[in-house]
Structure 1
Amino acid sequence: MSTGQDQLKELLQQNRQWVKRVSPDLLASLEKGQSPKCLWIGCSDSRVSPTTITNQPLGSLFEHRNIANVISSTDGNAMAVVEFSISLLGVPDIVVCGHTECTGVATAMIHEEGQEDPSKDHLHQWLVPTRKVYQENAKALEALDPRQRVLELGRLNVAASVSAIAATPAAKAAWANGQPLRIHGWRFNMAQGLLEDLNMTHDGSC
């Protein structure tokens, strides 16, 4: 039976195998700096690795991941990532990518005030923006069957994050200065392995 220590050793060993396969030219270019094609904001879920599902090499995506791909103006970490990617890296595209079977979204939906589990205080606090989206759309969501309800809340949650990024000073400044910037909402279908454009792109034109 493998132990936790064995699994960690395997990660180190796999890294050495990877180095043997990767192009030395790629590593040399990465050492000089980065010029990612987009900022990817996704869920921390281990099944949704951005560079894997988009078949991209190192350096292609500037990534920010958290539980349920939540972007809120009160989250200094996320705001710093958005500002860095727009103002310093000049990325032309930002993708907020949710996914099917998202436990974070489901947790936000079933949690009720007054029923907090002390062992999950930070998780419940983190999901407040998603829970707010649920409350604002409760009537329509509760008319759906449970699986479709989680799926639709996930879509609305992506839309809320897209709107939050579009409202940031960094995005507004980019558009005011004529800097190309498009903010997209996508979803990864776990069963199919496919990405879906949810058609909620902001480009500063309205």
Structure 2
Amino acid sequence: MQIGPSQSLPAHLLANLQQTPGLSAKNINNRIKMPITRVLQNNKEWAQKMKQEKPDYFSNLAHQQAPEYLWIGCSDSRVPANQILGLAPGEVFVQRNIGNLATHKDLNCMTCLEYAVTVLKVKHVIICGHYNCGAVRGALTMSGKTPGLTNLWISDIKETRNKHAEALGKLEGDAQMNRLTELNAIRQVFNVCSSPVVQSAWDQGQTLSVHGLAYGVGDGLLKELTQPITGYSSLAKAAEASD
């Protein structure tokens, strides 16, 4: 890996490195490679450890996956689905995006939902928001004229903010952001429940429940935001309770 015109390191970071006294081009390249070298070594050590503890671990995973859960969560690096749920690889199917959105116009999320429900036959769909969410904070603070894709992406959260403006206006700071986090997750629960794939599963008698949760990055605990929605009757009750 050599520094040159095709080097992907941002120009300002590369310039800072090049201006560091006593730092040669070789050392610069070593610094650039260090992060990936570290994670590759971590991977090797983890794989060896798993083989020692559970010799059949990888061979069993390679043959099939049979998760009972689909997790739709935020891309935030502090919110890893498997660890939070205490489940091993192969036990939870995961879809993550900024703000844990499940809008019908997002083909990525809807395709994942369809595959999880119709092929993997998951029994539970979990939509999980998390407190101190950057996407929610952006929905509260970013101007509608702010350029960039992020502002467009979080428009669904802004719609939730506008719908509940009166109630949110009575709150301040973290309390306001935390409540919008919960309202956003609940909105995504109804998005999932109103999707054709979930309603088709219910029509066919498939066992499938949808859950709304919020995760506390400060204490590691999950909070249940909705009662499990298992069909049209419980969906109607949940909708009535959320009004």
Unmatched tracts of structure 1, length 5 or more:
none
Unmatched tracts of structure 2, length 5 or more:
1-26, 234-243
1:83-137 per-residue CA deviation (whole Å, 9 max, x = no partner) reads 00001110000001111111111101112223x1x3xx11111101111000111
Query: 8 Å contact 2:161–2:168 — kept in the other structure?
Result: yes
Shift of 1:198: 1.5
Equivalents in 1 of 2:153, 2:218: separation in Å?
27
**Identity within the alignment, %:** 30
Give the letter for the 1:15 counterpart.
N
Equivalents in 2 of 1:38, 1:52: separation in Å?
14
Q: Which moved more, 1:135-144 or 1:16-25?
A: 16-25
- Indicate whether 1:12 and 2:40 are aligned: yes
Structure 1 match to 2:96? 65
- Which of residues 182, 194, 197 is equivalent to 1:155? 182
Structure 1 match to 2:79? 48
Structure 1 match to 2:132? 101
Structure 2 match to 1:195? 222
- Cα 1:175–1:20, aligned 2, differ >3 Å: closer, same or farther? same
Structure 2 match to 1:166? 193
Structure 1 match to 2:19? none
> Which structure ranks higher in relative contact order (CA pairs < 8 Å, sequence separation ≥ 6)?
1
- Indicate whether 1:85 and 2:121 are aligned: no
**Aligned alpha-carbon RMSD (Å):** 1.4
Query: 8 Å contact 2:72–2:128 — kept in the other structure?
Result: yes
Shift of 1:37: 1.6
Query: 8 Å contact 2:144–2:151 — kept in the other structure?
Result: no
Aligned length: 202
- Which of residues 147, 152, 177 is equivalent to 2:204? 177
- Runs of 4+ more than 6 Å apart: none
Equivalents in 1 of 2:232, 2:163: separation in Å?
26
Equivalents in 2 of 1:105, 1:5: separation in Å?
34
- Indicate whether 1:24 and 2:55 are aligned: yes
Structure 2 match to 1:146? 173
Q: Under a length normalisation based on structure 1, what TM-score does the superposition of the two structures give?
A: 0.94
SS in 2 for 1:3: helix
Query: 8 Å contact 1:39–1:93 — kept in the other structure?
Result: yes
Equivalents in 2 of 1:148, 1:98: separation in Å?
15
For 1:101-140, what aligned pairs fall within 5 Å after superposition?
A: 101-114=132-145, 116=146, 118=147, 121-140=148-167
- Name the larger-Rg structure: 2
